[in-house]
């Protein structure tokens, strides 16, 4: 690909180095060590806190020594998703880049530009002698994707700056000034097994080929959730035949809409052909319902020649699990009455498994109105209790309320307008950002979020628009120059 912007290639070269280092959520040790080593080699002060957050200090350019410190912030971790046929091992294999026209994506995996591109841009900026800027603090947090753990554990005195530039938004030309808060709920239910009745065989029911996506960014697009599709098929088959659930699995991350799910079921041998026909008919129904959002959706059932040592659950537990999964909400619960088009409250039915004789379900709730976030969480807990299950919800993280009178926002709009000759778009988003937490810990922090254009984060279809990287670079350099 012919990259015209002089800094974009440098940023992508560094991003490729970052992408060769394992950095799935909760496994940021190696990327953290890489950042600290990079800082030492380049003569920059750095430190790490008890959870692994890294701070690198960059001295002010000449003439900017008395300017206030600016924090440039991104997160180290990435959502590790891959296609069903990908052999990629996120614990050791580098992400393989693929250029596709104006876009950069990965080979069968998430790209990790969310948020590795922020690290690369900040690091290139730190060494750019031609860029004029105040004192900088490069704040790189851990475990943003599975609960904003790094931001939650951050101590207020770890950073000094009172202006924060979060480089974790996904549309160039858009300034984010608010975001949703969130909570996760973990549901567990003890299950009981019995011997399969005479004449029963095991079959695997599968739902896959869905696009998935970010549970905040894409939740309003009515994309198919593989767990929901699977459970609808299970419910229909169970209404017509004697079905005993043996195992079930779907979803990988709390903030990713599930793309694939499967269930092992025991059924009467002479029912298989009827069940196969029912599933085929249901596939046609699902493909019609989701023809715009998930044209590659698939549903199938196949006999298993080996039971793999599995036994069916008893009839009561089989029904209870299917009913519980079907009753749990998923999708948009309310739209904002303050900002047109903004999702206010939603839920993602994120994952399900049976492990050590226990059903485990994870749901993820979001809302810009904290009272409604808690109310939706209580509803999910109530549904779990009605099924006889145990539900435990985390404390979550706060929403970031927009401040449209922010001096930083006014300056950003002015810089963008002068640089590109057009008005930027200002918005709040339904996804979670670390700004809300950091601002809660650092009183008086003025914050904004921006970034290059990303599509389909949290899925193997993730891609970044290469030209937008240079535009964000130019904006950030001019913004910092103006903060003298």
CA 20 to chain centre: 20
What single-letter DSSP state applies at residue 269? G
Number of domains the chain contains: 2
Query: Looking at the structure, do residues 407 and 387 belong to the same domain, yes or no?
Result: no
- Looking at residue 192, what is its pLDDT? 97
Alpha-carbon distance of 149 to 55, in angstroms, equals 16
Q: How far is CA 127 from CA 39, 42, 130, 164, 476, in A?
A: 10, 8, 9, 19, 14
**Residue whose entry in the numeric block shows the structure tokens 């997160």:** 75
Give the DSSP letter of residue 85.
T
**Which one of 373, 393, 413 terminates a domain?**
393
pLDDT given at position 132: 97
Residues facing residue 446 across a β-bridge: 163
In order of 261, 318, 333, 343, 453, the CA distances from 369 in angstroms are: 32, 36, 12, 11, 27
Q: How far is CA 474 from the centre of its chain?
A: 27
Q: Which parts of 356-479 are beta strand (E)?
A: 358-367, 390-393, 425-429, 446-449, 454-455, 463-465
- 356 and 433 assigned to the same domain: no
pTM: 0.79
Considering the domain architecture, whether residues 222 and 284 belong to the same structural domain is answered as: yes
pLDDT in tens, the chain (484 residues): 788 898 999 999 999 999 999 999 999 999 999 999 999 999 999 999 999 999 999 999 999 999 999 999 999 999 999 998 999 999 999 999 999 999 999 999 999 999 999 999 999 999 999 999 999 999 999 999 887 899 999 998 999 999 999 999 999 999 999 999 999 999 999 999 999 999 999 999 999 999 999 899 899 999 999 999 999 999 999 999 999 999 999 998 898 999 999 999 999 999 999 999 999 999 999 999 999 999 999 999 999 988 999 999 999 999 999 999 999 999 999 999 988 899 999 999 999 999 999 999 999 999 999 999 999 999 999 999 999 999 999 988 889 988 999 999 999 999 999 999 999 999 999 988 899 899 989 989 999 999 999 999 888 999 999 999 999 999 999 999 999 9
| CATH for 409 | 3.40.630.10
- pLDDT value for 295: 97
Q: What ranges in 210-343 are assigned the alpha helix state H?
A: 226-240, 272-289, 315-327
pLDDT given at position 4? 85
The residue to which tokens 């004697």 are assigned: 242
- What was the pLDDT predicted at 84? 85
Residues 174 and 204 in one domain: no
Tokens 């000759």 belong to residue: 421
In terms of residue numbers, what domain contains 122?
A: 8-180+399-482
**Contact status, residue 446 vs residue 407, Cβ threshold 8 Å:** yes
Sign of CA dihedral 274, 279, 280, 284: positive
- Contact by Cβ (8 Å): 381, 394: no
CATH number of the domain encompassing residue 364? 3.30.70.360
Q: Among 393, 419, 448, which residue terminates a domain?
A: 393
Q: Would you say residue 236 lies in a domain?
A: yes
**pLDDT, position 133:** 98
> Is 211 in the same domain as 359?
yes
What is residue 207's predicted lDDT score, i.e. its pLDDT? 98
Q: Are residues 246 and 353 in the same domain?
A: yes
My answer on whether 429 and 377 are in the same domain is no
pLDDT on residue 475: 98
Mark whether 326 and 468 lie in a shared domain. Answer: no
In a domain, 2, yes or no: no
Query: Looking at the annotation, which residues are catalytic?
Result: 77, 144
303 and 426 share one domain = no
| Residues whose CB is less than 8 angstroms from the CB of residue 92 and which lie 6 or more positions away in sequence, other chains included | 22
Query: Are 231 and 97 within one domain?
Result: no
Q: How big is the CA angle at 117 (ends 225 and 48), to the nearest 5 degrees?
A: 105
Residues 140 and 227 occupy one common structural domain: no
DSSP reduced 3-state for 184: strand
Distance between CA atoms of residues 364 and 255, nearest Å: 7
Q: Does any domain span residue 3?
A: no
Name the residue with tokens 């970044």.
464
Where residue 466 falls (left for φ over 0; alpha for ψ -120 to 50; beta otherwise) is alpha
| Co-location of 246 and 371 in the same domain | yes
**3-class state of residue 119 by DSSP:** helix
Query: What is the CB neighbour count within 10 angstroms for residue 351?
Result: 21
Q: What is the CA radius of gyration of the chain?
A: 24
Q: Which of these three, 358, 393, 428, is where a domain ends?
A: 393
Q: What are phi and psi of 294, to 5 degrees?
A: -140, 70
The arrangement of strands across the sheet holding 103-106 comes to 97-100, 103-106, 463-465, 454-455
């Amino acid at each position: 690909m012919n990259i015209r912007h002089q800094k974009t290639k440098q940023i992508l070269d560094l991003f490729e180095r970052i992408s060769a280092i394992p950095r799935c959520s909760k496994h940021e040790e190696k990327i953290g060590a890489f950042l600290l080593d990079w800082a030492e080699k380049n003569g920059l002060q750095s430190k790490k806190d008890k959870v692994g957050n890294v701070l690198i200090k960059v001295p002010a350019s000449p003439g900017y020594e008395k300017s206030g410190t600016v924090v440039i912030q991104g997160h180290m971790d990435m959502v590790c998703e891959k296609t069903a046929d990908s052999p990629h091992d996120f614990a050791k294999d580098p992400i393989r880049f693929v250029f596709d026209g104006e876009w950069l994506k990965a080979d069968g995996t998430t790209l990790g530009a969310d948020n590795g591109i922020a690290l690369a841009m900040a690091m290139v900026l730190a060494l750019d002698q031609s860029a004029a800027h105040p004192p900088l603090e490069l704040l790189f947090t851990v475990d943003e994707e599975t609960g904003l753990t790094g931001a939650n554990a951050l101590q207020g005195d770890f950073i000094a700056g009172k202006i924060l530039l979060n480089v974790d938004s996904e549309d160039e030309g858009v300034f984010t000034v608010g975001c949703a808060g969130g909570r996760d709920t973990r549901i567990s239910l003890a299950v009981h097994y019995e011997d399969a009745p005479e004449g029963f065989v095991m079959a695997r029911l599968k739902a896959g080929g869905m696009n998935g996506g970010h549970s905040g960014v894409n939740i309003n697009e009515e994309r198919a959730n593989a767990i929901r599709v699977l459970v609808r098929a299970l419910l229909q088959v169970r209404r017509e035949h004697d079905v005993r659930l043996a195992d079930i699995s779907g979803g990988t991350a709390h903030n990713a809409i599930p793309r694939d799910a499967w269930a092992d079921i025991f059924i009467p041998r002479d029912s298989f052909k009827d069940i196969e026909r029912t599933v085929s008919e249901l596939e046609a129904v699902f493909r019609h319902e989701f023809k715009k959002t998930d044209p590659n959706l698939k549903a199938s059932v196949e006999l298993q020649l080996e039971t793999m040592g599995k036994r069916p659950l008893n009839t009561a537990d089989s029904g209870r699990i299917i009913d519980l999964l079907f009753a749990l909400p998923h999708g948009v619960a309310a739209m904002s009455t303050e900002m047109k088009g903004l999702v206010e409250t939603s839920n993602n039915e994120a994952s399900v498994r049976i492990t050590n004789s226990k059903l485990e379900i994870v749901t993820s709730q979001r809302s810009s109105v904290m009272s409604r976030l808690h109310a939706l969480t209580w509803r999910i807990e109530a549904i779990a209790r009605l099924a006889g299950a145990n539900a435990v919800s985390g404390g979550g993280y706060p929403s970031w309320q927009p401040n449209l009178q922010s001096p930083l926002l006014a300056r950003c709009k002015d810089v963008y307008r002068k640089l590109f000759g057009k008005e930027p778009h200002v918005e709040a988003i339904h996804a979670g950002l670390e700004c809300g937490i950091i601002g809660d810990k650092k009183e008086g922090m003025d914050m904004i979020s921006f970034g290059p254009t990303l599509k389909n984060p949290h899925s193997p279809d993730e891609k970044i628009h290469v030209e937008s990287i240079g535009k964000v670079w130019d904006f950030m350099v001019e913004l910092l120059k103006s903060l003298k």
